[in-house]
Structure 1
């Protein structure tokens, strides 16, 4: 008998989803996929293999899940070259049609600090289109904002959440605020476990641990030197990682305020969705 997930952590990237996945995997009533990001619903060549392929990653438990944080972003898929593009496809519609009754978990982080974190990750991974200056990144992304995928698009929570709630009811979605549950992981996990209808007392054993820190991307990349040397693209990325390892990402006060203004309607929408203010997301004038 095939087993399919009844919960998916759908986002957001750089918002603690790796930690949530790890926490849930420790619970005796929960099975989380061994590989965190299966990307089944946003990679056409995997989705076209069908649910029998997808089911091989799971085994029977009261709660069965996976975590692919890019699912949250409306229309965002991987093309045949394995690069990210914005399409007309609805990931949420695919999930709803494939997994009726599934519950979704969304962890949201301040779009300002999240933008910086996403730039850091990509820059220290050696990706050539990224710079260490947030101002320069914003300028580059604004030039192509209407034409291709950008991190600025990923920051537009209202677009993504409206798409999510078009396909799922509010009571099937659990929204968590990263800054809040990071500060008190026991309380955050207790609420999540209650949403999943499993024993919430397990949350007492949880302490927040960053499983995907920027420092990990600064470490030596040549774990498989033969692979990197035989792949010109990966070799170039590895050299950039080495050169960038001692650098830091620069975000000015102007950058922070510009991003805050750019995302202000999205912050307001999230606060309306969860029916409370998020003080840590706001920047005083």
Structure 2
């Protein structure tokens, strides 16, 4: 079935379609004072199953999609679009009236959210989120960082922005991203594609990027899910997420995998090097969160 956005494009010329889109965006901003901020955020990790979990959640009748309907899963407000302001951010979510109508129709609480896996990694996102939405619930998917890094590289290759092979990209990462994190902190309106695109190794040092969130939010507001649990038993992980969001039980139409990128397996020597690199970081993460993360780097 084609998306609403595709159907709009089929019905009207490009220039009219653009006007319709701009009109809806403007309407969202003008009514932003009637649109409460979201109840939950999926903040990471990139290539950890965030798109799949998001799609399972918006199948639930009490989890509406973003506004306008052609928006996918994220506003990217707390990293790329911070300069647009709070009214622009709130414009993407349902009005209080729409929430009430859904609650009356389906007999349960509405939970509104977005899924933006760069949020966990961005150095300013945690403080921005906590200032605007101190009671928001946070969902974090954590994948074996070796597999995450390789999948991240495959995505960049597919999108045509990564000319290097994986080993070369890992070697070039520090030089490519040098100074970008510091510039993001110094210039609040700056957005760095390099920080997002080429952070293959750095992005898997999860505790380092989670600590700003753990410092600002009650641990009961944060649900950490191993991505491997989602891959092995999506239904059980979905149910656990609904319980965290205090949503009634629901069975979505299916649990198909989104954005899967199959390829040749990672070269064994490179896999071993990365596993050794991540071992101390993963051990610290396990101790801090008290989680049994069954990743291949584990020695005991």
Whether these two folds match at TM > 0.5 is yes
Retained in 2: the 8 A contact 1:24–1:32?
no
SS in 2 for 1:191: helix
How far off is 1:113 after superposition?
Answer: 0.3
How far off is 1:139 after superposition?
Answer: 1.6
CA-atom RMSD in angstroms: 2.2
Retained in 1: the 8 A contact 2:50–2:117?
yes
Residue in 2 aligned with 1:8? 41
**Per the alignment, do residues 274 and 159 of structure 1 end up closer, same or farther by CA in structure 2, a change over 3 Å counting?**
closer
Counterpart-to-counterpart distance in 1, 2:85 and 2:235: 37
How far off is 1:165 after superposition?
Answer: 0.8
How far off is 1:2 after superposition?
Answer: 2.1
Task: Report matched runs for 1:260-279 at 5 Å.
Answer: 260-279=275-294
How far off is 1:251 after superposition?
Answer: 2.7
Q: Are positions 1:124 and 2:158 aligned together?
A: yes
Counterpart-to-counterpart distance in 2, 1:151 and 1:31: 32
Q: Are positions 1:39 and 2:76 aligned together?
A: yes
Residue in 1 aligned with 2:87? 52
**Per the alignment, do residues 259 and 147 of structure 1 end up closer, same or farther by CA in structure 2, a change over 3 Å counting?**
farther
How far off is 1:146 after superposition?
Answer: 4.6
**Per the alignment, do residues 185 and 207 of structure 1 end up closer, same or farther by CA in structure 2, a change over 3 Å counting?**
farther
Counterpart-to-counterpart distance in 2, 1:69 and 1:51: 20
SS in 2 for 1:280: coil
Residue in 2 aligned with 1:166? 215
How far off is 1:249 after superposition?
Answer: 5.9
Residue in 1 aligned with 2:168? 136
Residue in 2 aligned with 1:214? 261
SS in 2 for 1:141: helix
Counterpart-to-counterpart distance in 1, 2:278 and 2:42: 23
SS in 2 for 1:63: coil
Retained in 2: the 8 A contact 1:108–1:178?
yes
How far off is 1:163 after superposition?
Answer: 1.8
Deviates further, 28-37 or 160-169: 28-37
1:102-125 alpha-carbon deviations (Å, 9 max, x no partner): 111101110000000000000111
SS in 2 for 1:263: helix
Give unmatched runs, 5+ long, in structure 2.
1-33, 100-109, 181-194
Residue in 2 aligned with 1:115? 149
How far off is 1:284 after superposition?
Answer: 6.7
How far off is 1:250 after superposition?
Answer: 6.6
Deviates further, 142-151 or 260-269: 142-151
Residue in 1 aligned with 2:118? 70
How far off is 1:145 after superposition?
Answer: 5.8
Retained in 2: the 8 A contact 1:40–1:54?
yes
Counterpart-to-counterpart distance in 1, 2:154 and 2:119: 21
Retained in 2: the 8 A contact 1:158–1:265?
no
**Per the alignment, do residues 207 and 278 of structure 1 end up closer, same or farther by CA in structure 2, a change over 3 Å counting?**
farther
**Per the alignment, do residues 274 and 188 of structure 1 end up closer, same or farther by CA in structure 2, a change over 3 Å counting?**
farther
Counterpart-to-counterpart distance in 2, 1:151 and 1:118: 6
Retained in 2: the 8 A contact 1:182–1:208?
no
Instruction: State the aligned residue count.
Output: 233
1:192-224 alpha-carbon deviations (Å, 9 max, x no partner): 11110111x21x446432221236xxxxxxxxx
**Per the alignment, do residues 110 and 259 of structure 1 end up closer, same or farther by CA in structure 2, a change over 3 Å counting?**
same
